[in-house]
Amino acid sequence: KKKKKKKGIKRESILVSITRDEMALHKLHYFPVRSRGETLRMMLEYTKIPYANHFVTFGEWMEDKDGVRTKRYPLGPGASKATLPVLEMPDGSMTPDSHAIAKWIAETAAQKFDESDPRAHLKGESPERSEMLFGIADADPAAFGGSGVQQLGMVDPILNFFPREESEPMVGPFLSTLPRVMRWFAAELKKAGGTYFGGKYPSYADFFLLHIFTNINTLDGGATLNERIGTPSKENDPMPSNDDISALRAWYATMSSIPEVAKYMKERPQTGSGIGMADGTGVGMPNSIIVSTDTPSDLDVVKSAIGAG
């Protein structure tokens, strides 16, 4: 006898194994781009907190008919207007701000898992370091001595948001300072005293940095992490040892191979799959680099920047 197929929720925009009715899930509201939502989705997958995605298109967000956007979503810290991401709880309450959501996931996991489980330690051995590293791409100046926005966080809009005619001129300046920034992360990982920036186990900051490093690798094909990081600096800044650089590469490989993370990255919309849509298909804004090519590292501006040092 043929087994009857169980009815289930369509997988279009839900990238987890559903264990309860969809209406009882936490719901993550964010744009269909590889940006702040990626960290949170990887953490939700890792901690097995059931959730659904609500992908908000930019057209829907900007139209804001009758002030629906402002009425629906709360203000983030220090914001004068509603912002995303927002995590909607099963009771309908909403938590804005990626940092606050990441901390909530870490705290929820600490209660959910036994002390012996790595997932119970997402706050990190040094909560201060976790907080600093999670916010480093928004800091100006950042702990590495430059602009966190321009020298690290800019990878998200370069890939996802701006049309190519605007983003391509930004690629060279962004990649030019990246080796020095990555060398700083190699030294910082050593200071953490473990395999992860969180210490012995991954912290929520590790998941944020994994997202940033993955976007960087998508843009430059891994050239900076695998090769350019070892190029002597023109500014004569401190050079980490080869072992420290190898440890940073090993950290990236280890984080990427966490089963829940690897599965998520494999199943999410890939580069060149089309404009990010409300149904969860595609990723990126119209004519952005991530939409217009499946191999951003093949772009002439990227090759030129990498070749320039």
The answer on pLDDT for 183 being more than 70 is: yes
Under a CB-based contact definition with an 8 Å cutoff, are residues 309 and 231 in contact? Answer: yes
The answer on pLDDT for 4 being more than 80 is: no
User: Which of 208, 19, 234, 25 lies closest to 131 in space, CA to CA?
Assistant: 208
The answer on pLDDT for 230 being more than 50 is: yes
Q: Which residues contact 73 (CB under 8 A, 6 or more apart)?
A: 29, 82, 83, 84, 86, 94, 96
d(CA 260, CA 42) in angstroms, rounded, equals 7
pLDDT digit string (tens) for 42-87?
Answer: 999 999 999 999 999 988 888 876 677 778 888 888 888 888 999 9
d(CA 251, CA 298) in angstroms, rounded, equals 26
Beta bridge partners of 30: 55
Q: Provide the pLDDT for residue 77.
A: 84
Mean pLDDT lowest among 2-11, 87-96, 141-150, 192-201:
2-11
The answer on pLDDT for 279 being more than 50 is: yes
Mean of the per-residue pLDDT values for the chain? Answer: 89
Supply the pTM of this predicted model.
0.90
Mean pLDDT of 167-185: 96
The answer on pLDDT for 6 being more than 80 is: no
